[in-house]
Structure 1
Amino acid sequence: MVEILIVVGLAVALFVGFNIGGSTTGPAFGPAVGAGIISKALAGTLMAVFFFVGAWTIGRRVVDTLGRELVYDPGVFTVETSIVVLFFIGGALFIGNYVGVPASTSMTAVGSIAGLGVATGELNWAVMGEIAVWWIVAPLVGFWVSVMIGRYVYPTINRWIAITSSEGALVELDRSGAVPLPRPGPNTTRREFFGTVTLVAISCLMAFSSGTSNIANAIAPLYGAGVELNLLLLLGSGAVAVGALTIARRTLDTLGNDLTALPLTAAIVVAIVSSGIVIGLSAIGIPASFVIIATMSIVGLGWGRATRTTTLSESIHGGEEPNVSVGALAAEEPGEEAPALGEEDPADIPSAADLFDPATTGRVILMQNLVPVLSTSGAYVTFWLLFRYVW
């Protein structure tokens, strides 16, 4: 019976990993695929590779936090309870995808485990409090860092980055030496080559950051139940790879829209800021939500970019509310000279396509917080009933 339950638990964990691969490949590689730089097959392959690297290295720390430190007694993680926890995580993924707002698997996983811990009286409130504090601080850090970049640095970055489509191959192999080396194609400019390499590198960084944080959501309960960690890392990463190479083909376009709707420069800035914060938190064992941090980074970048036409004190304490739009992020085309701070013409910041609107932003934030609450309360009630009347 125990062997059968372990097989069931592994199957549920693999299902969660499969969905993680399908839902996180789009935000990571959507811009690169949308720009025609790499194919969906290559995007899935790169996602699988860099997710595994992140999971195998820094991801171990987050797995240990969720599987061993969040509860006083890891013995509460039996195979049966692990299956229930993973059920709530998988259910959250389904609910989020159904309403069109991918749920935070990190917050949902913590919520499910916390529900188990409260029901059994084993929740480590100190660790839970530390995680909750970082969940508040991290999006604020992402917001204000992006505000500063948008206000003071964005035009300069925008002049550096340009991805255009020149005729011929973007990259060729130089076979003149003993080892073939990649070099720009005959018609590829240095700016085009640099922008292309930068975009692919940032996508790989996002895949790496996803591995550092998200692998724990699929395997931490079974790790707490005593299943060997290296085996779980291999199986979980393998399931993510399958999802990245299959269902992600259908979600690369739709899930990537959140970033590809942005100008390329803004997408790169958001990716760097968000990935950097997620990797930093993972290094200290804190599971983080990339989507929430990225959302706040987008809002901060747009607001900082829009307020370049005013002084910072005016934008905070008075005057008209800045119009945060895609145009606010893309007032200059790559290569154009940036106006001095405070000298930009407000008419150069169009408002035709809003970067975010209150309804959409509110729906994202609501679902990102509501789903973990439902997961926590649902897990608590379920485990309370099971321990009282069944187990």
Structure 2
Amino acid sequence: MSEVLLLVGLLVAAFVGYNIGGATTGPAFGPAVGANVITKLMAAALMSVFFFLGAATIGPNVVTTLGEDLVHTTDIFTLQANVAVLFFIGGALFIGNYAGVPASTSMTAVGAIAALGLATGELAWDVLGQIVVWWIVAPIVGFWVAGVVGRYYYPQINEWVAIEGTSEGRQMISVDRSGLAPRLQFGEGATRREITGAFVVVGIGCLMAFSSGTSNIANAIAPIYGADIDVLEVLGLGSDVGEIAGVEPDMMFLIVIGSIAVTIGCFTIARRTLDTLGNDITNLPLTAAIVVAVIASGIVIGLSWIGIPASFVVIATMSIIGLGWGRATRTTTISDVRKGEETRVSVGALTADEEGEPSPEIGEEEPEDIPKASDLFNPSTTARVILMQNVVPLISTVGAFITFRFIPIFGL
């Protein structure tokens, strides 16, 4: 019976991983795909590789937090409970992916596991409190770091970056398979500077994929890892396997299973979120996308290092707002502020510059030169994304709590 339940749990965990692949590929490679720098196929392949690297290196820290520390005892992670927890995580994420919205996988997973702990009276409130505090602090840090970059360094970065996607569906970077060995080829007439810029955008996507692996692998496998069961032994794969790259064998096995499921999601359902993040929600300039990606990815990797599951989407959103605020304040000098002059702040300020062009010095622009936020975001799509990013974790949390509190078949 335990073998059957474990297999069911692994299948549901794979379903969660599948939806993680769909939810995280868009934020990572949406800008590169939207600018026709690479194809969706290349984005899926790169996402798969770098997600696994992040999952296998820093990811175990977050797995331990969700699988062991968030509840007082792991006895509540019965195989029946694991199936239910993973079902609510995967089901909620699937709703977001079907709607083309990359919801926060970390918030969705923490909500479901915390609901299990709350329903059984085993929730570690101190650990949950630490996670929630970082969920509040991290976006604020992202906002202020991006704000400083936007005011003082964005023009120099923008002047250096010059990336233009090709037209008519042709990509800046593609793979030529006509010879004996595949080789990279670039858009016709692309300059060395544009090619370098394209590689930067793709490299940033890879960094984001790595950061996603560090934080999100736990959302798929933590409940099973937290259960008091030797996965390899139950499956008849041996129990005397030593550590792999410093990670215990059960955890590494689960990381591989989860990463394979993520890969499947990257190559299938991720096409929806790539369209939303690459084309529909915003006309975010690639320079801004690079800055936001570096800031948000750095924060997520740092939090994963200390075992905190983080929401890349929320941090990136606040970073965009901070970057736009910082860019908009360039119309006003410090001396102007002391004189009581006000700054017209708008996220749309990020569309005031063209890549590769030098920007005016601080105080040289007029507030009227700064575009409105509506010039940057598609209002209807943005509203849909914000709504679903709150609804998806709520579905997971409330559904799991009601199930574990009032349905006794899970033996809790």
TM-score (norm 1): 0.88
Tell me, in whole angstroms, the C-alpha distance in 1 between the residues paired with 2:203 and 2:213: 15
Residue in 2 that maps onto 1:223: 225
Report the Cα offset of residue 98 of structure 1: 5.2
Residue in 1 that maps onto 2:240: none
Change (3 A) 1:250 1:367: closer
Report the Cα offset of residue 370 of structure 1: 4.5
Tell me, in whole angstroms, the C-alpha distance in 2 between the residues paired with 1:355 and 1:197: 24
Report the Cα offset of residue 257 of structure 1: 3.2
Residue in 2 that maps onto 1:21: 21
1:3-14 residue pairs with structure 2 within 5 A? Answer: 3-14=3-14
Deviates more, 1:134-143 or 1:354-363: 354-363
Residue in 2 that maps onto 1:123: 123
Report the Cα offset of residue 107 of structure 1: 0.9
Report the Cα offset of residue 96 of structure 1: 2.7
Residues 25 and 47, structure 1, Cα contact 8 Å, conserved in 2: yes
Deviates more, 1:185-194 or 1:141-150: 185-194
Tell me, in whole angstroms, the C-alpha distance in 1 between the residues paired with 2:332 and 2:141: 22
Residue in 2 that maps onto 1:149: 149
Q: Which string of whole-angstrom CA distances, capped at 9 and with x for unpartnered residues, describes residues 58-114 of structure 1?
A: 011111110011111112111100111111111221333455543211011111111
- Does 1:331 pair with 2:352? yes
Residue in 2 that maps onto 1:232: 254
Aligned counterpart for 1:209 among listed residues 211, 228, 239? 211
Report the Cα offset of residue 185 of structure 1: 9.4
Residues 260 and 267, structure 1, Cα contact 8 Å, conserved in 2: no
Residue in 1 that maps onto 2:294: 272
Change (3 A) 1:11 1:297: same
1:250-269 residue pairs with structure 2 within 5 A? Answer: 250-257=272-279, 261-269=283-291
- Matched positions, count: 385
Deviates more, 1:333-342 or 1:71-80: 333-342
Tell me, in whole angstroms, the C-alpha distance in 2 between the residues paired with 1:22 and 1:316: 49
Residues 51 and 209, structure 2, Cα contact 8 Å, conserved in 1: yes
Deviates more, 1:288-297 or 1:25-34: 25-34
Residues 331 and 349, structure 1, Cα contact 8 Å, conserved in 2: yes
What secondary structure sits across from 1:256 in the alignment?
helix
Residue in 1 that maps onto 2:36: 36
Residues 150 and 300, structure 1, Cα contact 8 Å, conserved in 2: yes
Report the Cα offset of residue 338 of structure 1: 2.0
Residues 157 and 265, structure 1, Cα contact 8 Å, conserved in 2: yes
Report the AA paired with residue 300 of structure 1: G
Residue in 2 that maps onto 1:322: 344
Aligned counterpart for 2:364 among listed residues 343, 354, 361? 343
RMSD: 3.3
Residues 31 and 260, structure 1, Cα contact 8 Å, conserved in 2: no
Deviates more, 1:338-347 or 1:124-133: 338-347
What secondary structure sits across from 2:407 in the alignment?
helix
What secondary structure sits across from 1:350 in the alignment?
coil
Deviates more, 1:348-357 or 1:272-281: 348-357
Deviates more, 1:108-117 or 1:248-257: 248-257
Residues 31 and 256, structure 1, Cα contact 8 Å, conserved in 2: yes
TM-score (norm 2): 0.83
Tell me, in whole angstroms, the C-alpha distance in 1 between the residues paired with 2:153 and 2:18: 38
- Does 1:193 pair with 2:206? no
Change (3 A) 1:314 1:84: farther
- Does 1:302 pair with 2:324? yes
Tell me, in whole angstroms, the C-alpha distance in 1 between the residues paired with 2:164 and 2:382: 31
Q: Give % identity.
A: 64
Q: Which string of whole-angstrom CA distances, capped at 9 and with x for unpartnered residues, describes residues 116-158 of structure 1?
A: 1122222111111110100000011111111111111111100
Tell me, in whole angstroms, the C-alpha distance in 2 between the residues paired with 1:163 and 1:296: 24
Residue in 1 that maps onto 2:245: none
Deviates more, 1:375-384 or 1:214-223: 375-384
Tell me, in whole angstroms, the C-alpha distance in 1 between the residues paired with 2:380 and 2:35: 28
Tell me, in whole angstroms, the C-alpha distance in 1 between the residues paired with 2:381 and 2:16: 26
Tell me, in whole angstroms, the C-alpha distance in 1 between the residues paired with 2:40 and 2:410: 49
Tell me, in whole angstroms, the C-alpha distance in 2 between the residues paired with 1:251 and 1:166: 21
Residues 315 and 322, structure 1, Cα contact 8 Å, conserved in 2: no
Deviates more, 1:339-348 or 1:211-220: 339-348
- Does 1:82 pair with 2:76? no
Q: Structure 2: any 5+ residue segments left out of the alignment?
A: 176-181, 232-249
Residue in 1 that maps onto 2:237: none
What secondary structure sits across from 1:66 in the alignment?
helix
Residues 142 and 293, structure 1, Cα contact 8 Å, conserved in 2: yes
Residues 32 and 278, structure 2, Cα contact 8 Å, conserved in 1: no
